[in-house]
Amino acid sequence: MVAAPSTAMTARDAVSDLEDLKRRRTALQLRLEDGYQRIEQALKDGKDVTRWEDFWIQLLDEYVRICDTIRELE
């Protein structure tokens, strides 16, 4: 009989996942900062930024979820 592959996460997998999450967090932070600046400038220029703001909030939600996950893993 062949044993089923283990679904348990190894310590190495956890570290790799944590590193991936931290890289994603950094990328999101940069996108959020850039997006905020672009939205502010567009508002000053009198442009409608509703869709940009909606997308920015989605990115922020993802950023918060990733930060929460990192905190749980550390």
Query: Could you give the angle at the alpha carbon of 28 between the alpha carbons of 10 and 52, nearest 5°?
Result: 140
Give the pLDDT confidence score for residue 42 in this predicted structure.
98
pLDDT in tens, 3-52: 555 556 676 776 789 999 999 999 999 999 999 999 999 999 999 999 99
CB 63 within 8 A of CB 32: yes
Give the pLDDT confidence score for residue 7 in this predicted structure.
54
Domain boundaries, given as residue ranges, for the chain: 13-73
The Cα 27–Cα 22 span in angstroms is: 9
